[in-house]
Amino acid sequence: MERTNGLPFVLTPMDVARVMCISRNKAYEVVHSRDFPSFKVGKQYRVSHDKFLSWLSTASDQKMEIA
């Protein structure tokens, strides 16, 4: 099931890479960073759609350097 903006409810690191226009390796750095709202399912990292967009908005508002 996907959200109206085309993103799934739960994003993978590759989804994060596509949205942010960054490399796969950089996406994994972001997903593993302390302030990123990811969670693990088995050995795989995921982030909820809403938490990702909130984090992205906060990061851009604060003009923080990501990973």
Q: How far apart are CA 32 and CA 15, in angstroms?
A: 15
CB burial of residue 62 (10 Å; 0-12, 13-18, 19+): exposed
pLDDT single digits (tens) 36-46? 999 999 999 99
Give the tens place of pLDDT for each residue, 2-51. 555 788 999 999 999 999 999 999 999 999 999 999 999 999 999 999 99
pTM (two decimals): 0.82
In contact, 56 and 62? CB cutoff 8 Å: no
